[in-house]
Amino acid sequence: MARTPPAALDVREQPYGWVMVAVTFLLSVLTFGGLPAVAVFIKPLTLEFGWTRGETSLGYTAIAVSAAVAGLGFGILADRFGTRAIAAVAVVGMGAAYLLQSGQSTLTEYYLAHILFGATGLAVVSGPMLIGIGYWFGRNKGLAIGIVACGGGVGQGLMPIVDHWLIESGGWRDALFSLGLIYLALGIPLALMVRDAPVRLAARRAAAGDADGALTRSQTGLPANEVIAWLSVAVFLCCTCMSVLIVHLVPLLTDRGVDASTAVQILSVLMLAGAGGRLVGGTVADRLGVLPTYFAMSVGQTAVIYWFVVVDSMALIWLLAILFGLFFAGVMVSFITCCREFIPPRIGGRGMAVVGLLGWGGMGFGSFIGGAGFDWTGDYRLAFALAVAAGVANLVVLVFFAGRIKGGGGMKLWLPHRAAA
């Protein structure tokens, strides 16, 4: 029986793909909405328990590292068995993490709850489910991924307001307990609607006859493992850059005399701008190519971030928040679309998991150097300077990766889709 090469796998768009876009969008709202909770809860927890900001911001690091490590296992499971069962694990784990955190009294309990959130929710939704959306679509894969990733921006913009309101209403313990119940009530029905794209199912069926590894080759002209390595290094650096600001924006602003409510609103505006940035990034990637879009968005993110520690005007702070939200979200959807474009369907789950491991590692590292930099120097200038350095290094990696693609015969993947057709 003839083996089906990757290019021949059916990538026609399926109607249920748009249902999966809606389902994964809502799961992304819940999942990514849990990330800025660290920023909102930093001051209540440090005031009650006497923890340092470096210690408390390690909660974000715990989420990121656990998501990265667990994502490898979930990626392999998704490639072999599909994503519905692991989607259920994700929503139950997130709800349980909030419920457990509501009763915490030590740093160990605090870290364990964040590990549970990352190792279940983020490991699944930010990896196998997010890249899986792209396999439902052909021409509109960037738009579809952008819409789903937009859910992360909506969650990151909406949930800080919800978190702050719950804290003000009943204290941080009641707030966390309520969040746990909300996540379980909303997440379980969504998990039951999850399906895999036909192209992923076909790739799994064809794998048994893939003796020469055709289904695990990248269309870049480079070995798939090399592609994954390049993307992983780039993602680590760009995520290090963005997480310094995301985790520490609220304490940075309140240290400068901005009231907590306004600081949270600025963070929310940044994240909501990120929702638009995901749509813009996905649409632009469909038209101009994924690597040029990734590079351009990375330039914008790197150019904007340091201004937050030197600008005094509140009007400029609001403007910077909007700009950074657009750029950092464009970076996120661009590298996800790169994974969809360059990693073969047969190993899409594990490939995205490896890239995600480095990405979450970068998010955790950036969160830590933000808090540690403040603890060392008493302000955020050093931490934000290191964020800029990471952003510049990411741009250098992308330039070399583009050169490797051109040298490997994948020149058309650097060009706009219509020019490459």
Residue 223 is part of a domain; what is its CATH number?
1.20.1250.20
Question: Would you state the pLDDT for residue 386?
Answer: 93
pLDDT: which is higher, 61 or 11: 61
pLDDT higher than 60, residue 411: no
Report CA torsion sign: 282, 286, 287, 290.
Answer: positive
pLDDT: which is higher, 288 or 294: 294
> How much is the average pLDDT of 272-280?
81
pLDDT tens-digit profile of 109-137? Answer: 999 999 999 999 888 887 778 777 877 87
Q: Which of 62-66, 103-107, 142-146 has the lowest mean pLDDT?
A: 142-146
Question: Would you state the pLDDT for residue 71?
Answer: 82
Q: What is the CA radius of gyration of the chain?
A: 20
Residue 315 maps to a domain: yes
Residue 63 maps to a domain: yes
- Give the integer Cα–Cα distance in Å for 122 and 132: 14
What is the residue-averaged pLDDT of the chain? 82
- Give the integer Cα–Cα distance in Å for 120 and 82: 16
Residue 345 maps to a domain: yes
Predicted confidence band at 385 (pLDDT cuts at 50, 70, 90)? very high
pLDDT higher than 70, residue 10: no
Predicted confidence band at 218 (pLDDT cuts at 50, 70, 90)? low
Predicted confidence band at 4 (pLDDT cuts at 50, 70, 90)? very low
Report CA torsion sign: 335, 337, 340, 343.
Answer: negative
Question: Would you state the pLDDT for residue 329?
Answer: 85
pLDDT higher than 90, residue 358: no
Q: Cβ distance 395 to 295 under 8 Å? A: yes
pLDDT higher than 90, residue 387: yes
Residue 11 maps to a domain: no
pLDDT: which is higher, 342 or 242: 242
pLDDT higher than 60, residue 364: yes
> How much is the average pLDDT of 212-225?
62
Residue 304 maps to a domain: yes
Q: Which of 48-62, 85-99, 162-176, 195-209 has the lowest mean pLDDT?
A: 195-209
pLDDT: which is higher, 203 or 213: 203
> How much is the average pLDDT of 391-395?
95
Q: Cβ distance 387 to 244 under 8 Å? A: yes
Which of 392, 369, 391 shows the shortest CA–CA distance to 381?
369
Question: Would you state the pLDDT for residue 418?
Answer: 42
Range of the domain at 389: 18-202+215-420
Predicted confidence band at 347 (pLDDT cuts at 50, 70, 90)? confident
Question: How many domains in the chain?
Answer: 1
Question: Would you state the pLDDT for residue 2?
Answer: 39
Residue 13 maps to a domain: no
Residue 402 maps to a domain: yes
Residue 10 maps to a domain: no
Which of 271, 383, 391 shows the shortest CA–CA distance to 326?
271
pLDDT higher than 80, residue 176: yes
pLDDT higher than 90, residue 290: no
Predicted confidence band at 5 (pLDDT cuts at 50, 70, 90)? very low
